[in-house]
Each structure stands twice: as structure tokens, then as C-alpha cells.
């Protein structure tokens, strides 16, 4: 029997597909050196009674034009599989020119995405003095293997390997400060980032989640009455997902993970997102111990133009607040 074929609208609405995300290009290189950044116009959070910083009710947004820019290098850096039979993950590290280790942001693409999807984000971050790493999840897209073998949980395992490699500060990661590693994920990559961080809360300094697909389990339940009805493969737009995708998330409650991650979280979400509605992020903000929601008015699933600029400015302000940018 041939695999059921989903039309584009149904597939996107059900699974939070992000291979179609529109990501705006940004300037690549600048001048200067990390560690010497002057103060920016961001108002610091008000201190609490014990002297610690309190997150503002509404996330700050920095105008990136007001920030200093830095030179950086692009390096190919693959993540070698921990098992001999496991294929390496293709990666690309953007490193600001610096003598001392710098913070790292790991950029996680969405479903049916690629290593190139978040290059503009990574390049912008490197130009601000923060190292950034883009990589391709195993079987996470048409250029990275067999997508019928991929699931949210296989990607969590992949991200755990990236985290372990980055924290080693060896084998190409020498420029990275292992104590200041942040995940930035879009759509499914945002859900993967949140789950992984909850499993390694002491190793992940922050989470910047753009339109995270916390709706995956609900959407699968809308597609199928029970897990037994899920076929071996689903085909759409020339791509296939396997039964493992549904099995791994069928009974999974991503919100149960969130209280285990105590560090500050930023969520960026468009209020016109019909793929992963903003209500899922509004619930997440109430579930994480410390989280903020930056709402992008009129934006859908994927950001471009001024919406992308605002998301990037909010992310930069967040990184500054947690001591990763300009710290």
C-alpha cells in the first residue's frame, strides 16, 4: 500500500514544517575585537531585594546598528558520532577573532531544514562577538540522510552530542567558553532545544526559542485517532517522515520538562502563526521558571524583514542580559 500523501497545508499545520522559513540575510563581518564592547542603550533589569537582576516584564529589543561589530572566521567543524557506526553531523562554526574563549550559541534548524537555514542568525551573532554554530541534524532534511529515521528525540540525542563536543573545548572547539553555551532553535529546533536544555540544565546557559513547535503532540493527535493508526511513512512535498516521528512524541508532554530548566528563557513568536500558534508559547512562558515572550505583531511561522530584525534585536538584548553578549 502506498504511503498516505498529505497536502502542503495539512503537513505544515500538523507538523510545524520549517524548511520553508524565510530568513533574511544580514551583514557578515565588522571590525573590533570581542571583550572590548562598549555599553549599549539597553536599560539594565531592576535589582531584586537580594541584589540579583530581575527580568523586565517586556523583553528589551536592541537596535543592532547601535552595537559594535567584530571580525570573525568561518570554519567547517563536523560533530563525530559517539558510536563507530554513527555518521558525523555536518557543522559550521563562526568564531569572532579573539584571544580568549568566547560564548557560543548553537543554532538548531527546524523540520526538513538544513545547515544553511540559520546562517544569517549565526553570522549576525559572530559579528556581535559571540561564536555561533550551525549544523544539520542527522536525517533532519533531504541533504542529511533518511528523514523517515528522524524524530524529535533523535534530534535531542544529536543536540546532546553537539553540547558534549562544544563543552570539551578541544578538537576545533578551543575558542568556545564551555560555561556559556546557549541554544537558539526555530520551530521544531526550538522544541528540541527546550527538551535538551531541561535534561542538561547546568550545561546550557540560556534558551532563545523562535516560534517553537510545542504543538507537535497535539497536531499528531489531530491527524490520527490513535498511535496504532500511524502508517510506516508519510509523504509530502517529496519528503518522508517515518512512524518513529509520531511514536516518540505521541504521549510526550514537553511542558512537563520546562520546570526543570531554571535559567532565563526568551521566546520569540509571531501572533499570526497558524502553524504553531502563539498560545503554545504563552503557556510555555507561564511554565518555565523564568521566561519572557517577545511577540512579533503580524508575523507568521518564519520571520523576514523587520520581523527578523526585531527578533534578532530581542535575542541580542536577551544574550546581553544573561551575560553572553558584551559580558
With H, G, I as helix, E, B as strand and everything else as coil, classify residue 195.
Answer: helix
Residues 6 or more apart whose CB falls under 8 angstroms from that of 203 comprise 163, 167, 181
What is the per-residue pLDDT for 99? 67
- Give me the residue spans of the domains in the chain: 8-31+56-321
User: Mean pLDDT score of the chain, rounded to an integer?
Assistant: 83
DSSP, res 17: B
Q: Tens digits of per-residue pLDDT, 147-183?
A: 899 999 999 999 999 999 999 989 999 999 999 999 9
Which band of pLDDT confidence, cut at 50, 70 and 90, is reported for residue 100?
Answer: confident
CA distances from 72 to 40, 119, 128, 169, 171 (A): 21, 13, 9, 18, 19
Phi-psi region of 198 (alpha: psi -120 to 50; beta: other; left: phi over 0): alpha
**Sequence-ordered alpha helix ranges (H) in the chain:** 8-15, 119-127, 152-167, 188-199, 216-223, 243-249, 254-257, 278-287, 305-321
Task: Lowest mean pLDDT of 143-157, 183-197, 289-303, name the range.
Answer: 143-157
CATH for 8-31+56-321, options being 3.40.30.10, 3.40.50.1820, 3.30.750.24, 3.30.420.10: 3.40.50.1820
Highest mean pLDDT among 21-30, 72-81, 92-101, 199-208: 199-208
C-alpha cell at 52: 540579583
What is the per-residue pLDDT for 89? 93
Checking if the pLDDT of 199 tops 70, the result is yes
- Burial of 108 per CB tally in 10 Å (0-12, 13-18, 19+): buried
Q: Within 10 A of 56 (CB to CB), how many other CB atoms are there?
A: 15
Share of the chain above pLDDT 90, in %: 67
Amino acid at each position: 500500500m502506498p504511503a498516505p500523501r498529505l497536502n502542503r497545508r495539512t503537513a505544515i499545520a500538523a507538523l510545524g514544517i520549517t524548511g520553508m522559513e524565510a530568513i533574511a540575510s544580514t551583514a557578515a563581518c565588522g571590525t573590533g575585537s570581542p571583550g572590548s564592547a562598549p555599553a549599549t542603550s539597553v536599560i539594565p533589569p531592576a535589582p531584586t531585594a537580594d541584589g540579583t537582576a530581575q527580568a523586565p516584564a517586556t523583553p528589551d529589543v536592541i537596535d543592532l546598528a547601535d552595537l559594535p561589530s567584530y571580525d570573525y572566521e568561518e570554519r567547517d567543524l563536523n560533530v563525530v558520532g559517539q558510536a563507530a557506526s554513527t555518521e558525523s553531523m555536518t557543522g559550521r562554526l563562526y568564531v569572532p577573532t579573539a584571544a580568549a574563549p568566547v560564548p557560543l550559541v548553537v543554532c538548531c534548524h527546524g523540520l526538513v531544514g538544513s545547515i544553511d537555514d540559520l546562517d544569517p542568525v549565526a553570522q549576525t551573532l559572530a559579528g556581535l562577538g559571540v561564536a555561533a554554530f550551525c549544523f544539520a541534524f542527522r536525517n533532519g532534511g533531504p541533504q542529511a540522510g533518511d528523514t523517515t529515521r528522524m524524530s524529535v528525540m533523535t534530534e535531542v540525542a544529536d543536540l546532546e552530542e553537539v553540547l558534549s563536543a562544544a563543552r570539551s573545548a578541544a578538537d576545533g572547539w578551543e575558542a568556545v567558553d564551555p560555561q556559556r553555551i546557549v541554544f537558539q532553535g526555530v520551530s521544531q529546533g526550538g522544541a528540541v532545544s527546550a527538551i535538551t536544555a531541561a535534561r542538561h540544565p547546568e550545561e546550557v546557559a540560556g534558551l532563545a526559542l523562535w516560534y517553537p513547535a510545542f504543538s507537535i503532540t497535539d497536531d499528531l493527535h489531530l491527524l490520527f485517532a490513535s498511535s496504532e493508526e500511524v502508517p510506516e511513512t508519510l509523504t509530502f512535498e517529496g519528503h518522508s517522515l517515518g512512524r518513529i516521528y509520531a511514536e516518540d512524541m505521541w504521549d510526550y508532554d514537553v511542558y512537563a520538562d520546562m520546570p526543570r530548566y531554571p535559567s532565563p528563557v526568551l521566546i520569540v513568536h509571531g501572533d499570526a502563526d497558524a502553524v504553531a500558534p502563539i498560545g503554545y508559547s504563552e503557556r510555555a512562558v507561564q511554565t518555565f521558571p523564568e521566561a519572557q515572550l517577545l511577540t512579533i505583531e503580524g508575523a507568521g511561522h518564519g520571520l523576514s524583514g523587520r520581523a527578523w530584525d526585531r527578533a534578532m534585536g530581542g535575542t541580542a538584548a536577551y544574550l546581553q542580559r544573561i551575560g553572553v553578549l558584551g559580558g
